Chain A
Amino acid sequence: MRVIACMKQVVDLQQIRIRRDTREPLLEGLPVLFGDMDKNALEEAVKIKEKHGAKVTVLSVGSPKLKETILEALAMGADEACIVIDPACEDSDTAASAMTLASAIKKIGSYDLVLVGEGSADNYSGQIGSRLAEIMGIPQVTYVRELSIEGNTVTAVRDMEDALEVVRVETPLVISVTSEINKPRRAPLGQILRASRKPLNVWTLKDLGIDASRVGRSASHIQVVSNLAPEQERKGVIFDGDLDESVAKLVGALRKEGFLS
């Protein structure tokens, strides 16, 4: 069985600072990491490998920094990594990213399962899995929190708002996972060193036969008009002192605001 886990490298969202005067996010120099749910996707791929035997490929499109981040994914148990690094891909929208991933999957060749997180850590748009399935013409099962495999048949428990759905489908297919499906392992330090000896394929758009005009900002279906922190109209009154006094002040303030009447 061959399993491909798609992962996206994002800046550490906890460390984003906002320019006070313009409300612009400051992203320069921030550390990069893989999103949590992307790690859930990889963890599930590695679990499948441990249970059924499989070759796990981790696939990512991103900046040159990917070469460092990808080691963690290899250390978590992927057998090989394929990364697409091309400056033209910067500011690609989801459609172009999905097309790039699909071309890379075609180059990888055979596969049974393509795993993705239910949404990326930064934009959580949740389109990549859906678009991939359509491009590749294969079925998709979204929001999976339990997965079992028997031969070519996949049985999955989908987590919908008000119900759990048990579905059955034949491979190949795209699966998006939720954070409940597993607890991603931490890569032991020794593994990270060893990971650098695993196969790492670095591709450009040319390697995938993609014309640069099909990706990046100029090809984007989406035009971002503005991307700013929301205007903060919070009062920011913080009571830090004697607790009885703080509680009394808070209750007073809440009454003034029209609560607790």
Chain B
Amino acid sequence: MVASETDQGALELLSKGREIAKELDVDLSALVLGRRADDIIRQYFEHGADRVLLLPTNSPNTIDAETFTHAIFEVSKDNAPDIILLRSTRLGKEVAGRVAEKLQAGCVTDAIGLTTKGQELVVDRYALGGNTISSEMVRTKKKIISIMPGTFEIRRAPVDGKVETLEIKIPSSRVQLMERRKKTGELVNIQSAETLVCIGKGIANKEDLAVVNELCTVLKAELGCTRALSSDYHWISEDRMVGISGKRCQPKLHVSIGISGQIQHTVGILSSELIVAINKDKEAPIFKIADYGIVGDLYEVIPKLIQSIKTLGK
């Protein structure tokens, strides 16, 4: 069974879920909280859901973790589904741990790979702060897995499925939502960028970011940064923070500038197709994961690089 707080997220999970369900010869269902138009439900069937389990709730816009947890628990406690796929969003991760405890089940969060081996399910995730990839099997009958958003492509796999409306009494949440403020400013999604430039502590002043932004323009890149530049210095908004507590990105081209390469950051860029690093310290760990690198002062290298790329276009 898949469950996500968004329809887009559910389709992503269904696409992978269809593949797994076929290999293990099991039924694929999707839990949907709230109300949906018919054409949205149809999307679920077009992406492989044998059943859509519809649970009407009173608050269609926000789903709280307690409601979500309770619903999944009630649906799965006595019968199938045994495999529950969630998305590793902040809500999804909280729910994964809670459902797992309620079901006395094993749980793997932040999965970046999911395969079958005979009748077993093997889940990959980063471990040891990103130094390693751990392949794990959940030994309990019930298995809770939360998958990093964007890991699997959405694929059409039409199925002639049916809708079942659930009747589950959801107790009211002990946590009261007082206010929900959309984050202000432009909401960027650096995770979908084809080219990503990341800047770290090598840059000395906020004003100097102008030259990095210029490089982004000529490369048609999005700007990302390390934790220091957003959380500590507040020079760059947090939605551009890359790493274990920020975003994990998989651009085609990644340019890392003035970043030493601590694992907490690099785990967010390891899946890039090509990595370019610019750093004045020849020994910086970032060069170990780079395809190409320039040892040099970013204040000298970036202007030269911009100039060189601009000349190409002429």
Which stretch in A45-53, A58-66, A133-141 binds the other chain?
A133-141
Which of the segments A69-77, A103-111, A166-174, A203-211 contacts the partner chain? A166-174
Interchain CB contact under 8 A, B131 and A124: no
- Which residue of chain B is the closest to A139 with respect to CB atoms? B174
Are A251 and B308 in contact (CB-based, < 8 A)?
A: yes
Contact of B128 among A122, A127, A160, A248 (CB under 8 A): A122
Given contacts A160-B90, A235-B291, contact A224 B136 (CB under 8 A): yes
A238 within 8 A of B: yes
User: Are A240 and B90 within 8 A (Cβ)?
Assistant: no
Number of chain A residues close to chain B: CB under 8 A: 83
A95 touches B101 (CB 8 A): yes
Considering the chains assembled together, what is the distance between the CA atoms of A74 and B89 in angstroms?
Answer: 34
Shortest Cβ gap from A126 to chain B (Å): 5
Q: B231 and A94: CB pair below 8 A?
A: no
How far, in angstroms, from A127 to B109 measured CA to CA in the complex? 8
- CB-CB contacts of B64-100 with A at 8 A, as 1s and 0s? 0110000000000000000000000111011111101
Q: Report the minimal beta-carbon distance from B242 to chain A, rounded to whole angstroms.
A: 14
Question: Does B227 have its Cβ within 8 Å of any Cβ on chain A?
Answer: yes
Interface string of B91-119 (1 = CB under 8 A from A): 10111111011101111111000000000
Tell me the interface secondary structure of chain B in the complex: mixed
Q: Counting CB contacts under 8 A, is B122 at the interface?
A: yes
Of A163, A227, A251, the contact of B127 (CB 8 Å cutoff): A227
- Contact indicator A126/B128 (Cβ below 8 Å): no
Contact (Cβ within 8 A) A223 B231: no
Knowing A163-B182, A236-B291 are in contact, say whether A221-B109 is a contact too (CB < 8 A): no
Encode contact with A along B118-130: 1 for CB under 8 Å, 0 otherwise: 0000100011111
A131 beta carbon closer than 8 Å to chain B: yes
Q: Which B residues are CB-close (under 8 A) to A124?
A: 110, 126, 129, 244
A234-B275, A250-B294 given as contacts; is B136 within 8 A of A126 (CB)? no
Asked if B41 is an interface residue, CB under 8 A from chain A, the answer is no
What residues of chain A lie closer than 8 Å to B102, measured between beta carbons? Answer: 134
Check A162–B183 contact: CB distance below 8 A. Answer: yes
Proximity string of chain A (138-163) to chain B, C-beta cutoff 8 Å, 1 when within and 0 when not: 01111100000000000100011111
Q: How far is the CA of A183 from the CA of B181 in the complex (A)?
A: 24
Q: Mark B284-305, 1 if CB is under 8 A from A, else 0.
A: 0001111111111000110011
- Among B100, B104, B180, B292, the residue within 8 A (CB) of A254 is B292
Q: How far is the CB of B7 from chain A (nearest CB, A)?
A: 15
A238 in contact with B97 (CB, 8 Å): no
Whether A229 touches B136, Cβ cut-off 8 Å, given contacts A130-B96, A250-B305, A251-B312, is no
Do B289 and A232 touch across chains, with their CB atoms under 8 A apart? yes
* Residues A223 and B137 in contact, CB atoms below 8 Å apart: yes
Complex alpha-carbon distance, A134 and B99, angstroms: 9
Check B94 against A247 for contact (C-beta < 8 Å). Answer: no
**CA gap between A133 and B97 in the complex, in Å:** 10
Which residues of the other chain, B, contact A79 by a CB distance below 8 angstroms?
none
Answer whether residue A188 sits at the interface, using C-beta atoms and an 8 A cutoff: no
Ranked 7 nearest A-B pairs via Cβ? A130-B97, A221-B106, A13-B129, A127-B97, A134-B101, A240-B295, A238-B293
Return 7 A-B CB contacts under 8 Å, by A number. A27-B128, A126-B94, A130-B98, A130-B101, A134-B101, A159-B90, A259-B252
| Residues of chain B at the chain A interface (Cβ within 8 Å) | 65-66, 89-91, 93-98, 100-102, 104-110, 122, 126-140, 174-183, 187, 195, 219, 227, 231-232, 238, 244-245, 252-253, 262-264, 270, 274-276, 282, 287-296, 300-301, 304-305, 308-309, 312
